[in-house]
Structure 1
Amino acid sequence: MFPEYDIIVVGAGHAGCEAAAAAANMGSKVLLITMNMQTIAQMSCNPAMGGIAKGQIVREIDALGGYSGIVSDKSMIQFRMLNRSKGPAMWSPRTQNDRMLFAATWREMLEATPNVDFYQDMVRQLLVKDGRCYGVITGLGHEIKAKSVVVTSGTFLNGVIHIGEKQLGGGRISEKAATGITEQLVELGFESDRLKTGTPPRIDGRSLDYSKMEEQKGDEEISGFSYMNVERITAAQQRSCFITYTNSAVHEILKTGFDRSPMYQGRIQGTGPRYCPSIEDKINRFADRDRHQLFVEPEGWNTVEIYVNGFSTSLPEQVQYEALRTVPGFENCRMFRPGYAIEYDYFPPTQLQYSLETKQIQNLFFAGQINGTTGYEEAACQGLMAGINAHLKAREQSPFILKRSDAYIGVLIDDLISKGTDEPYRMFTSRAEYRTLLRQDNADLRLTELSYRMGLASQERMEQTRYKLDSVEKLKQVLSEVSITPEEINSFLESKNSAPITQKQKAQQILLRPGISLEAFVHASPTLQELTAGYNREILEQTEIQVKYDVYIEKEKDLVQRMSQLEDLEIPDSFDYNKISSLSAEALQKFKKIKPRTLGQASRISGVNPSDVQILMVYMGR
């Protein structure tokens, strides 16, 4: 019934979809197995993509030739560039999406991708022999063989849903859990643990009084995620979100359910996300605050369903309902479904190589929440990398690995493998030490050529990137060579509260002044208008960033260069750490468990001191 595939992808969430698309577009024959064909690329929690640091990841996925950015742009109902008041290293794109259109668009794009086959079934066992994975066994008993297997199980591995004192087996509300894989892998020597996440109630938007809330509109300029020419909505078409707040009365009602809370009664063993806590957790941890912000987010164009961002909870339904009805604007709210917590199995990611292949079993890759991450974006980028590397492994080619200085994706994977995680991992700009280099505006300049060379990014995408690169260089040269006269520009400078010039000055020097944007400068200068005709806003913005932040960018590049010396010092797989008696006990334990690939990775392992790294260098003859 089934041919032998190059790659089998288990699970069709954000990680699984990106893995299938990447491997197929590189030429592998892929089978995507999901328990429900109707929930491919389901937005299980909030109907949004991107945000702080996550938006950078979506842009990196797009630059590499993944689908998440295109799907997000095609299904957006609102766009915002967050952190515009800060420097460009902090700018983060975010879309509010139509939940159903997002999933439908993903499925359409996958179905239009040659080499992707689909099958609806549960995978209950992996085919493993002599330390190699060569396929799967499904719930219906089918043995399907492949050269590599990518497991992207999300929250489905032995998933348990908690609503107050009620417990239901499931990977999502009304969907059954997946069983068998955890038990098999533990028998094979893998370490597993439990994590917890949650989701808020869904509300009937017709029952809300928006006059009591603050309206949050989208941006007037929509840039989106994808660097490709994707058809997007106009600013005028956007749907608004709204903001309201809890109050002390809401908190008191919520507290009445704490004695039935699965979190406080010990029924949930898994650790929850530190940076996206439940509303009951917020009340406990921030007892001094008498209100918490709630974002009232529409679920799509053609639905009245509302997502209450900030009100994730697993309290009893009646407590959720009564508390919500005390929130301003929610006095007459009707609930579509209650919030719930979900507990699931994951495998600590220190058991992985940088390619996301497991250390114990060859040809077996993990991506997404199985590795301890939380969030669509974190899952999608792992899926992309696992799909790429599963394809390369099936063809006996070297893995594709991004360094911390290459991408937020590189930071995420290095953090997981070097440090592990015992709570759901979420990406932040603060995790990236080279964030001036890893901006959302230059992901294509950083990554597209790497992807193109290995056969994923398309010719069209590469040509567009080269055009952008060449245009920015030409425009920088224009700014460094062209002089602007006082007569031409002083009225503009005065309008910006900037000192007038008394003699000719290079355009680049004027641009370096605070509060002067290149777009406004070009508009005010007839000389620059003529010389920059034909350059779009993206080219102007990229040029401005490179000119204004040149000193900081060069400093960061120097730091990367210095740190790369440690990254280039590889540690042999066969290295015997036991012979180094002067290592600290913790360093010895961590080195033997994680088996760092380089001295750079060794230096980032939690609990390893600089002295341990120096001792290791001495023993390696450095």
Structure 2
Amino acid sequence: MENYDIAVIGAGHAGVEAALAASRLGMKTVIFTISLDGIANMPCNPSIGGTAKGHLVREIDALGGEMGRTADETFIQSRMLNRGKGPAVHSLRVQSDRERYHVVMKHKLEKQQNLSIKQAEIVDIRLNQEGCVSEVVTALGAVYGVKAAVICSGTYLKGTIYVGDAAYSSGPDGMHAANRLSAHLKELGVTLRRFKTGTPARVLRSSIDFEKLEVQRGDEPIVPFSFETDANTLENRAVCHIAYTNQKTHQVIEDNLHRSPLYGGKIEGIGPRYCPSIEDKVVRFSDKPRHQIFVEPLGLETEEMYLQGMSSSLPEDVQISMYRTIEGFERLQIMRNAYAIEYDCCDPLELYPTLEFIRIPGLYGAGQFNGTSGYEEAAAQGLIAGINAALKIKQKEPLVLDRASSYIGTLIDDLTTKGCTDPYRMMTSRSEFRLILRQDNADERLTPTGYRLGLISEERYRRFEEKQRLIAQEKQRVSKYTVSPSEALQKLLVSRETAPVTSGVKLIELIRRPQLSYDDLAPFDPQRPDLPWEVTNQVEIQIKYEGYIKKQLASVAQMRRLESKPLPKELDYQQIDGLRLEARMKLSQIRPLNIGQASRISGVNPADINVLLIYLETHRKKEEEHEAD
């Protein structure tokens, strides 16, 4: 029997981050995958990032994870979404070369010290006499001794594919499902549920009439995902397009809804609310005359195109008819049919915010196994689970990111405190601290944590410190520098519809005006130093939103006062007088780590929180009296 510190089960986006983090923290780690060809696969959209998801990728990078760097190395088109809105919701999204992303990430795993890669299906997880994880067993009967295991099963766990009347056991992309582990997880007391997701057809590029489609080009200049990537080395190499459904498309769908497994009752799993199939869109949004379809290449060395926004589980003949009603798709040739996939996942309310199971020490969950959707949500959880598995073995304090620190913290807090009834998707609206959790300042928020853990190198941390020094220095300079009134300045102010000045004014006051940018004022700032864009961008944002940021930081301080009041892990809530019955049940199930987390549990109201605060204070005084005696 081979012995390891940590076993990672599954090598999708959650698995690779968990394995890399654990091994980089000195743990002897093994990662298992049903197929080596499925490592870091993109079975759905070949892209990284998007609204709120781009925030997650930059936070992963700031902590020392790998997704951002690999996305920069393999993208073919880059766009910053929501540029017309404020910086809080700017989100980077890249179209990736699907095959290259897999190859590059697989190679990184292969080169990583302390990490072994095994092509094998894990069918059992065994516990020792103390009830802690001790072994994992493969389908071939091989046994591996471990101190912790991270389940990153994606959509493989009892996966079932649906296309019309056809239904068969399968993982994504024709790989076989993991059918035996679920039964053993139930024996361990893990609650399993059925969720569903879907994917559109892949089609032949030459069968599309691009003259009839809208062109969607990449952005210039390009902003990288990784804070380590030199933006000057990046270039857009592909063009995407937009098509639209129409009334004929919708009629084909409506005429064949009875043949959809989704509406015929064959699919029991709950699908993603914010990424519905085209059948769902037509039914739920019947007032809309059309829906957007993003036509995106899967890579530079393939003729496959992805039709984002048109996932379906309708029969093959209906898919052909449906797609060909769309302008530009009249001769469309489908290479891979659209399908729905149903799979097992856990109830995340059974997890601590460390992503360890409350009742199974040493067992962690990450990604779609925890009820989320999306590569980015998966990678974020994998990183945290891998870090915490390593920290537990090292007998160090776990890493728990709060809601004010990151979107990662918000994601995990939502899962472990509120749970999810359908595949959870990260959105900017889920965070009450959006203005301070921008994607542009992820390094400021999280790189010190990554450095403290040992995932950020000394060299990278010194560069980070220098960047922060330059930002602070430039903010101080512009707060002292006075701009004299001049004809050119007045002309600029009038042209931007902002009030002219009658006397000298501090440069910082002009930068604060929403009509002006830091770069606009360069001609009136002869002392301006030559600084990198990432520095001047932070200077401008911090100045313009200073008042709002201060207000949000006050809210953060209030939240953290509650977070600083820990709740004992073994506290018997049934014995606390004054708690309502529902609150006792929810608190006993979720086992919150502190008062702040308890306050966000559905079914726990402010009166219950006051009871807990009184209990903690009374308990503290009793302990002090006992010590005094």
Length-normalised TM-score, structure 1: 0.97
Answer whether contact 2:13 2:40 (CA < 8 A) is retained: yes
Q: The residue matched to 1:396 in structure 2 has which SS?
A: coil
Distance in 1, Cα, partners of 2:436 & 2:603:
28
Answer whether contact 1:64 1:456 (CA < 8 A) is retained: yes
CA offsets 1:135-163 (integer angstroms, 9 cap, x no match): 21111111011221111000111110000
CA offsets 1:1-51 (integer angstroms, 9 cap, x no match): x64112111110000000111111111121111111112100110011111
Distance in 2, Cα, partners of 1:613 & 1:519:
49
CA offsets 1:98-139 (integer angstroms, 9 cap, x no match): 111111111122222212111111011112123111121111
Distance in 2, Cα, partners of 1:86 & 1:378:
23
Among all aligned residue pairs of Structure 1 and Structure 2, give the percentage whose two residues are the same amino acid: 45
Q: The residue matched to 2:263 in structure 1 has which SS?
A: coil
Q: Offset of 1:400 from its aligned partner?
A: 0.9
Residue 243 of structure 1: aligned partner:
242
Distance in 2, Cα, partners of 1:232 & 1:485:
36
| 1:132 matches 2:132 | yes
CA offsets 1:235-268 (integer angstroms, 9 cap, x no match): 5x43111111101110111123211211111111
Residue 204 of structure 1: aligned partner:
204
Distance in 1, Cα, partners of 2:113 & 2:120:
21
Q: The residue matched to 1:621 in structure 2 has which SS?
A: helix
Residue 64 of structure 2: aligned partner:
65
Answer whether contact 1:73 1:232 (CA < 8 A) is retained: no
| 1:532 matches 2:491 | no
Aligned residues: 616
Residue 187 of structure 2: aligned partner:
187
Distance in 1, Cα, partners of 2:11 & 2:576:
46
Residue 152 of structure 1: aligned partner:
152
Residue 610 of structure 1: aligned partner:
606
Residue 427 of structure 2: aligned partner:
428
Residue 576 of structure 2: aligned partner:
580
Q: The residue matched to 1:573 in structure 2 has which SS?
A: coil
- What does 1:146-545 correspond to in 2, within 5 Å? 146-230=146-230, 234-235=234-235, 237-487=236-486, 489-522=489-522, 524-527=523-526, 530-533=527-530, 535-545=531-541
Distance in 1, Cα, partners of 2:364 & 2:399:
14
Distance in 2, Cα, partners of 1:116 & 1:573:
33
Q: Which is worse superposed, 390-399 or 304-313? A: 390-399
Q: Offset of 1:580 from its aligned partner?
A: 3.5
In structure 2, what residue type is equivalent to 1:579? Answer: Q
Answer whether contact 2:43 2:173 (CA < 8 A) is retained: no
Answer whether contact 2:48 2:96 (CA < 8 A) is retained: yes
* Structure 2: tracts of 5 or more residues without a match: 619-629
The runs of at least 4 consecutive aligned structure 1 residues that moved more than 6 Å come to none
| 1:39 matches 2:38 | yes
Distance in 1, Cα, partners of 2:233 & 2:311:
30
In structure 1, what residue type is equivalent to 2:15? Answer: G
Answer whether contact 1:33 1:118 (CA < 8 A) is retained: yes
- What does 1:70-109 correspond to in 2, within 5 Å? 70-109=69-108
CA offsets 1:264-311 (integer angstroms, 9 cap, x no match): 111111100000000001111111112111111111112111100010
| 1:596 matches 2:592 | yes
Distance in 1, Cα, partners of 2:218 & 2:414:
33
Q: Offset of 1:619 from its aligned partner?
A: 2.8
Answer whether contact 2:352 2:591 (CA < 8 A) is retained: no
Answer whether contact 2:82 2:91 (CA < 8 A) is retained: yes
Q: Offset of 1:611 from its aligned partner?
A: 1.8
Answer whether contact 1:200 1:310 (CA < 8 A) is retained: yes
Residue 546 of structure 2: aligned partner:
550
In structure 2, what residue type is equivalent to 1:334? Answer: Q
CA offsets 1:313-353 (integer angstroms, 9 cap, x no match): 00001101101000111001100011000000001001111
Distance in 1, Cα, partners of 2:608 & 2:383:
34
In structure 1, what residue type is equivalent to 2:512? Answer: L
Answer whether contact 1:95 1:224 (CA < 8 A) is retained: no
* Structure 1: tracts of 5 or more residues without a match: none
Q: Which is worse superposed, 591-600 or 52-61? A: 591-600
Distance in 2, Cα, partners of 1:225 & 1:421:
28
In structure 2, what residue type is equivalent to 1:418? Answer: T
Q: Which is worse superposed, 309-318 or 297-306? A: 297-306
In structure 1, what residue type is equivalent to 2:60? Answer: I
Root-mean-square deviation (CA), in Å? 1.4
Length-normalised TM-score, structure 2: 0.96
